[in-house]
Amino acid sequence: MAVTIKDVARIAQVSIKTVSRVINNEPHVTEDMRARVQNAIDLLGYAPNISARRLVQRRSYMLCILLHTSGFYQSALINKVLEVAYEYDYDILIQTYFPSLSRSKKKLAGLINERRIDGLITTPPCDTDEFVLELVHNSHIPLVQISPYNRLPEIPSITGDDYQGALMMTEYLITLGHRNIAFLKGPRNHRTSLDRLYGFRAALDHHHISYNKLLELDSEFNFDGGYTAAKIAMDSKNPPTAIFGGNDEAAFGAIYALQEMGLSVPQQISVCGFDDLINSKNVWPGLTTIHHPVDEIAEQALSMLVTLLKGEELEQKEMVLPSRLVIRGSTAQPAFPQ
């Protein structure tokens, strides 16, 4: 015989209404009662009727994360979002969005206007898209932005400290003795990319090192971009002794290009990245990088969104999480003192 909500109430010695409140995560339930109900649910193996709960609460219990591109970073972010959402009893819809395609806009509009999702998380460059922002504004659907390019005070956002991370990495390269450093930039309309570039420049300025704009190269935050940029850097009149990839993927591409050119990393040239993706410790040599707190970003983004869905105020609308330096085997002192 199937376990019912009445059975849970009997074992927990509370009313059916109290069990319902606990299941629906409603307020005004003491921690003691909540624990008793949860223990009874676990003991009996009770599974709430999700369809009925959705119908009564007029919620889909589906959240959407909006992406424009895919890559190692996006995969790491999505994996953590899925894991955390499960703990909150929400499902996640992973939706790609292409502003130039009317079909893409129509699909997103349907998801939001038909209330097939309860909340939305955006990643760059979706956060600056006027169509997306207008949809959210008109529907009043809760929104949290991850690393937005243009942060709007009324919209909650969370990001890592890209500026400080890039400054920290550049300082480290300078302490090793590097002065001629190439920087592989990401997309120009990307706040993360710009903050990392500005952090790089700030460290050079602090040490009175003039930066060579010819060594600030576009990489688009991907392997192919890093590969091409590294080739250009090494073909310049004054090639760098270190290459700072704007993200790990660009750094991977740079290492491949250098090895293809017969250059040894780090004996002949140092390479570092940014993000500390899982692959960064599996390549050879291990990649010196900046740990970007992607897991914490995913956790906080979900926490903020669920708080909004409960109708509660956020204690903090903008969160910037610290980065940290991770030293591995891809960096060393320059082969010749500068």
pLDDT at 59 (0 to 100):
65
CA distance 144 to 335: 46
Pairing label, strands 181-185, 324-326: unpaired
Please give the Cα distance from 172 to 316 (Å, whole number): 32
Q: Which residue type, as a one-letter code, is found at position 31?
A: E
pLDDT at 54: 53
Mean pLDDT of 37-56: 70
Predicted confidence at residue 230, as pLDDT, reads 97
C-alpha to C-alpha distance for 337 and 176, rounded to whole angstroms: 10
Give exposure, 45-58, as e/b (b: 16+ Cβ within 10 Å).
ebebeeeeeeeeee
Buried b (16+ CB within 10 A) or exposed e, 245-256: bbbbbbbbbbbb
67, β-bridge pairs: 96
On average, the pLDDT of the chain sits at 89
> What pLDDT shows up at residue 176?
98
**Better pLDDT: 95 or 232:** 232
**Which range is least confidently modeled, 135-149, 199-213, 278-292?**
135-149
Q: What pLDDT, on a 0 to 100 scale, did the predictor assign at position 337?
A: 67
Average pLDDT over residues 250-259: 97
- Which residue ranges does the chain devote to CATH 3.40.50.2300? 59-160+295-322, 162-292
pLDDT at 169 over 90: yes
Arithmetic mean of pLDDT, 143-156: 86
pLDDT of residue 102 exceeding 90:
no
CATH H-level superfamily of 162-292: Response regulator (3.40.50.2300)
Q: At 46, is the pLDDT very low, low, confident or very high (cuts 50, 70, 90)?
A: confident
- Look at residues 87, 150, 151, 97 and name the one whose alpha carbon lies nearest to residue 120: 97
Which residue did the predictor score with more confidence, 336 or 130?
Answer: 130
Closest CA to 156 of 1, 319, 317: 317
142 pLDDT higher than 80? yes
Residue 338 pLDDT: 62
Query: Residue 178: its pLDDT value, please?
Result: 97
pLDDT at 55 over 60: no
Percentage, residues of the chain above pLDDT 70: 94
Can you give the pLDDT at residue 53?
56
Over the range 313-326, which residues count as b (16 or more CB within 10 Å of their CB) and which as e?
A: eeeebebeeebeeb
Give mean pLDDT, residues 273-285. 92
Where is mean pLDDT largest: 42-46, 75-79, 146-150? 75-79
Between 9 and 228, name the one with better pLDDT.
228
Q: Which residue, chain included where needed, has tokens 């250059």?
A: 263
What is the CATH number that goes with domain 59-160+295-322? 3.40.50.2300
